[in-house]
Structure 1
Amino acid sequence: MQTIYLIGFMVIIGAVIGGLTNSLAIKMLFRPYKEIRLGSWRVPFTPGLIPKRHDELAKQLGKMVVDYLITAEGLGKKLKSTVFTEAMTSWLKTEVQKLLISEKSGTELIEQHVGMKNPRQFLLTKTEDVVKKGYIRLLENNREKTLEQLLPSAIKQKVNTMIPTTAEYILMRGQSFLESPEGKEKLSVMIDRFLIQKGTLGNMISMFLGNDRLVDKVQPELLKFLRDQGTNQLLVELLEQEWNKIQQKRFKDIESHLNEKEVVSFIVRTIESNVPVFEWLDQPMKQWSGTYHDVIKEQVIPRGVDLTLDLLSTHLEELLRRFHLEDIVSEQVQTFSVERLEELVLSISKREFKMITYLGALLGGIIGFIQSFIVLFIG
């Protein structure tokens, strides 16, 4: 009977020691949270393993996340997956559809979602800045160049082809004016003024011929002159000469005739009047967006998603490096209190830790059982 008591006692003692040892070892992973000192002497195994290695654990977790969990390769595969692309496209279509059928104007939506006050004025200001910088850069880079060098070939060709037409138009308008009663009256006044300026000679000519008769003689001759092919050719040559002179002028020669403020203001007003964006800002979205629904939903959004995801996939490694994800994870882990970290680990592995404790008790019991036979054998 004593043998059975001895075996049972040794088994119980071994199980208790094994269970308590494993339980204590588990608790020593986290506790004590801070080191314990007796005077200047630090009590061994204080603080616990995890509190003692808290900073190192944070760094290693950050490195593990970057090297093995959130990698550029893994994220790239996710971004390029058909499921993710389709989900992103579908979500964007839904969100954009809400905006396109909204009763609110573009200005209201921008002020509401972006927080920008008076976007129209902001856009005009930015447009003016861009135009002004472009104008100044144009002046600085082209002062020594001639207009012939600056003007596009298409414009120069267009002007050259328009010169004969322009000359013909001028002569035709001149003929029409001279043939009209108003033109004849103006010609009569001019002749009268000419004769007056000539003094006595003019008075004699006027007295002998009479002003009206002189007009009747001069008018047909002038019309004949305007209809003559030689006159047309002469005018074409004159226009070509003037056009060539203008082309040879340096840009700095006409710079003094340009008022920067007026030029910039004119260009900005032209853009504001002809670019529909400024008009759309003050209109309800549904009023003007209907024409673009299908294009935006079926072409712009899918293409935009593809381009964005391709761009992200290409530069993911650089983005993650600049994002300093490893440092972020490390900093977040370092901000965890040891109590919170213990709670987090135990909430995940509590059952496994209990099993380790029970296993320790089991192993201790087995060792106690074996030791009891050793004691009996020796005894």
Structure 2
Amino acid sequence: MHTVYLIAFMVLIGAVIGGLTNSLAIKMLFRPYKEIRIKSWRVPFTPGLIPKRHDELAIQLGKMVVDYLITAEGLGKKLKSSVFSEGMISWLRVEAQKVLTSNKSAAQLIEENMRINQPKKVMLEKTESFVQKGLSQFLEENRERTLSDLLPETLQQTVDSKLPDITQYILDRGQAYLESPEGKEKVSVMIDRFLIQKGTLGNMISMFLGNERLVDKVQPELLKFLRDQGTYQLLLTLLENELVKWKGKQLKDFENYINQEEVVSFVVHTVHKHVPFFEWIDQPMEEWSGAYSDFVMNNLIPRGVELALTVLSSHLEELLKKFHLEDIVTEQVKTFSVERLEELVLSISKKEFKMITYLGALLGGVIGFIQSLIVLLIG
């Protein structure tokens, strides 16, 4: 009976010591949270392991997250998966449908979600600023260049090819005007003025021939002149020469004739008038978005998601570097209190820590049993 008590006692003592030792070791991972000092002497094993290595733990966690958990390769596979892309498309379609069928205007939605007051006014101001800056920059950069350098080659060729037609049009319009009663009257007035300027000689001509008879003689000659091939060729040559002169002029030669404010105002007014968005922005979305709903849902969103995921996948490594993810994780872990870290670890591994304690008690009991046998054998 004495032997049984001895074995049981030794086993119990070993189990208690083993369990308490493991439990204490687990506690010492976190506690004490701060070092304990008796005057200038620091009590050994204070603070606990994790509080003592808090900064190192934060750095290592940051490296582990970047090197093994959130990697460009892993994220790339996730982004390229059909499940992820389909999920993104479905989510965007739901959100887009809410916007497209809203009874609020685009201006209201922009004000609510982007915190931009009077978005239409802001857009017009931005357009005006953009046009003003672009025009000023264009004039500054091209002041010394000629029109021939600035105008597109195709436009110059088109103008050149149209000169014969323009020449013929001018002559045709001149003939039509001379043949009209208004044109004949104008010629008569001009003849009368000419004769008056000639004084006595003009009066004598007018007296002998009569103004009407002179008009009747001059008008056919003028028409014959306009119909003559030589006149056509002369006018065409004059227009070609003038066009060459104009092409050779520099932009600065016309700068005094360019009112930048009027040009900018004209462009902005044209954009405001002809770009539909400026009209729609104050209307409820549901009134005008229906015509574009199918395009947005079946074309814009799928292609946009595909393009966005492709671009993200190809630049993931660079983006992760720019995010400084390792530094973010490190800083976040450093801000964790030791109590929070303890709570976090225990919430994950509480069951395992209990098993370690029980295992320590079991091993302690086994060791106590073995010791008791050794004592009995020696005794």
Q: Same fold (TM over 0.5)?
A: yes
How far apart, CA to CA, are the structure 1 residues paired with 2:105 and 2:187? 61
Q: Which amino acid aligns with 1:156?
A: Q
Q: Distance in 2 between matches of 1:149 and 1:351?
A: 81
Q: Secondary structure at the match of 2:104?
A: coil
Does 1:237 find its partner at 2:237?
Answer: yes
2:34 partner SS? coil
Q: Which residue is 2:248 aligned to?
A: 248
Distance in 2, matches of 1:194 and 1:9, equals: 147
| CA-CA distance at 1:132 after TM superposition | 2.1
What's 1:341 paired with?
A: 341
CA-based RMSD: 1.5
**How is 1:166-205 mapped onto 2 (pairs within 5 angstroms)?**
166-205=166-205
1:326 counterpart residue number: 326
Given residue 136 of structure 1, which amino acid in structure 2 is its aligned partner? S
CA distance in 2, matches of 1:222, 1:55: 103
**Alpha-carbon shift at residue 100 of structure 1 (Å):** 2.1
Secondary structure of 2:353 counterpart? helix
Aligned counterpart, 1:221: 221
What is the rounded CA distance, in whole Å, between the counterparts of 1:337 and 1:296 in structure 2? 48
Partner Cα distance (1:219, 1:311) in 2: 75
Quote how far apart the aligned CAs of 1:313 are. 0.8
- Equivalent residue letter for 2:248: Q
Distance 2:291 2:8 in 1: 90
- 1:82 shift after superposition: 0.7
Q: Residue 279 of structure 2 corresponds to which residue in structure 1? A: 279
More displaced 10-residue stretch of structure 1: 270-279 or 317-326: 270-279
In structure 2, how many angstroms separate the alpha carbons of the residues matched to 1:18 and 1:35? 26
For residues 233 and 186 of structure 1, the distance between their equivalents in structure 2, rounded to whole angstroms, comes to: 26
For 1:40, give the aligned amino acid.
S
Matching residue of 1:18: 18
The yes-or-no answer on 1:302 pairing with 2:302 is yes
Which residue of structure 1 aligns with residue 52 of structure 2? 52
Residue matched to 1:289: 289
Code of the residue aligned with 2:290 in structure 1: it is G
Q: In structure 2, how many angstroms separate the alpha carbons of the residues matched to 1:289 and 1:165?
A: 46
Q: How far does the alpha carbon of each residue in 1:338-362 deviate from its partner, in whole angstroms, 9 at most, with x for none?
A: 1121122112211211111111111
Q: Which moved more, 1:15-24 or 1:223-232?
A: 223-232
Taking a change above 3 Å as real, the CA distance of residues 231 and 287 of structure 1, as seen in their structure-2 partners, is: farther
Deviation at 1:292, TM superposition (A): 2.2
Answer with 286-295 or 88-97: which moved more. Answer: 286-295
Match of 1:40 in 2: 40
Match of 2:265 in 1: 265
Q: How far is the alpha carbon of 1:121 from its aligned partner?
A: 2.0
Gapped runs of 5+ residues in structure 2? none
CA apart distance, 1:156: 0.9
Deviates most, 33-42 or 369-378: 369-378
Structure-2 residue corresponding to 1:147 = 147
Deviation at 1:183, TM superposition (A): 1.7
TM-score (norm 2): 0.96
Which sits farther off after the overlay, 130-139 or 45-54? Answer: 130-139
| 4+ aligned runs moved over 6 Å, structure 1 | none
The residue type equivalent to 1:339 in the other structure is E
Give the match for residue 96 of structure 1: 96
Q: Which amino acid aligns with 1:184?
A: K
For residues 76-87 of structure 1, what are the structure 2 equivalents within 5 Å? 76-87=76-87
**Deviation sequence 1:310-334 (CA, Å, 0-9, x none):** 1111111111111111111111111
Aligned to 1:358: 358
Deviations 1:123-166 (A, max 9, x none): 22222222222222222222222211221111111111221111
| AA aligned opposite 1:112 | E
Write the distance in 1 (CA, Å) between the matches of 2:356 and 2:70.
32
The answer for unaligned runs of 5 or more in structure 1 is none
For 1:325 and 1:248, locate their aligned partners in 2 and report how far apart those are by CA, in whole Å.
60
SS in 1 for 2:257: coil
**Hey, what's the Cα distance between the residues in 1 that align with 2:6 and 2:268?**
104
Give the aligned partner of residue 163 of structure 1. 163
Instruction: Tell me the CA shift for residue 220 of structure 1.
Output: 1.8
Moved more, 125-134 or 322-331: 125-134
